[in-house]
């Protein structure tokens, strides 16, 4: 009995997910429904139902807000809650609870509940408790007032969070320059040997000087003279910046002349009559339908 009472006390763990259910018995695992109001210990039903609706349906429709401190998106916590009108869209970065999670029905009739998530290691504060008030319109000490949600006053409690600096996982390979070959996995899961890149200062300087010494094999063409027309002010034959550069295939990719294409099937030439006979379709069944 004592363990159950202690378990019911609020804690400073941040809330990670919110949802709404109609049937409390179908509350998802890891969630706790808010069944009673904080000020009068009365029913915390958030659904506004008229007497006509009750007579027509023959039963009472209920809506209960549920909170969780273990479920939801990993490493994300709830940092703010706002209420909007039915025809308004949620603010940027906010999630709208529009449907019940147990039977996929419309969650609210007039006021809508939105909440904002943030990464745990980036959040300066988090919402740790949510209460509903049936009579009082003022938030208790330690709670923040949100607004009226279908007849009940919604309030939440926040707690400061220390941003956590998550250490980076160590690399499985070194970053030091080396001339030795390294074994890297290929697509089949086996290891193949690849030469590592030489990132030393001497090598970079040598490559840079070599690039500066490269010259095109033919001179760049002269710029054409501008031509004018009556439809516009001037028209210049623009250059693309590739003039004078030899367009040749890298010798490493040249295919040996002795290579024979044995796997290419023979292409048979077909006349128009052959194609009509092969792909002819009468559409008789479609016409009958």
Burial class (CB in 10 A: 0-12, 13-18, 19+), 94: middle
Which pTM does this prediction carry? 0.53
Helix (H, G, I), strand (E, B) or coil at 129: strand
Of 142, 118, 121, residue with least CA distance to 131: 142
In this structure, CATH architecture of domain 2-160: Aligned Prism (2.100)
Within 10 Å of residue 108's Cβ, how many Cβ atoms?
A: 21
Helix (H) or strand (E) holding 285: helix 284-288
Q: Could you tell me the residue ranges of all domains in the chain? A: 2-160
Could you list the pLDDT tens digit for every one of the 289 residues in the chain?
A: 444 444 444 578 999 999 999 999 999 999 999 999 999 999 999 987 544 455 555 678 899 999 999 999 999 999 999 999 988 889 999 999 999 999 999 888 888 999 999 999 999 999 999 999 999 889 999 999 999 998 899 999 999 987 655 555 665 555 555 544 445 555 555 454 545 555 555 555 555 566 556 656 566 666 665 554 444 444 445 555 666 677 776 666 666 555 555 566 777 888 888 888 888 888 888 888 7
């Amino acid at each position: 009995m004592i363990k159950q009472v202690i378990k019911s006390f609020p804690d400073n763990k941040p809330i990670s997910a919110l949802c709404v259910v109609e049937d409390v018995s179908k509350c998802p695992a890891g969630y706790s429904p808010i069944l009673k109001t904080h000020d009068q210990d009365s029913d915390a039903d958030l659904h506004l139902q008229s007497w006509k609706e009750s007579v027509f349906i023959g039963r009472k429709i209920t809506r209960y807000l549920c909170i969780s401190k273990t479920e939801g998106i990993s490493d994300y916590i709830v940092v703010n809650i706002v209420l909007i009108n039915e025809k308004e869209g949620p603010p940027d970065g906010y999630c709208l609870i529009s449907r019940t999670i147990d039977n996929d029905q419309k969650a609210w009739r007039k006021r809508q509940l939105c909440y904002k998530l943030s990464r745990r290691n980036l959040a300066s504060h988090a919402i740790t408790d949510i209460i509903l008030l049936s009579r009082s319109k003022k938030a208790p000490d330690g709670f923040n007032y949100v607004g009226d949600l279908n007849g009940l006053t919604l309030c939440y409690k926040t707690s400061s969070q220390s941003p956590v600096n998550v250490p980076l996982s160590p690399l499985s390979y070194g970053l030091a320059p080396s001339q030795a070959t390294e074994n890297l996995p290929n697509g089949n899961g086996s290891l193949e040997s690849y030469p590592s890149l030489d990132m030393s200062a001497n090598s970079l300087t040598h490559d840079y000087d070599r690039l500066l010494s490269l010259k095109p094999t033919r001179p760049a063409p002269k710029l054409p003279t501008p031509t004018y027309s009556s439809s516009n002010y001037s028209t210049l034959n623009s250059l693309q910046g590739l003039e004078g550069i030899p367009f040749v295939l890298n010798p490493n990719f040249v295919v040996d002349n002795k290579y024979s294409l044995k796997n290419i099937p023979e292409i048979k030439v077909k006349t128009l009559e052959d194609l009509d006979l092969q792909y002819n379709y009468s559409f008789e069944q479609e016409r009958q339908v």
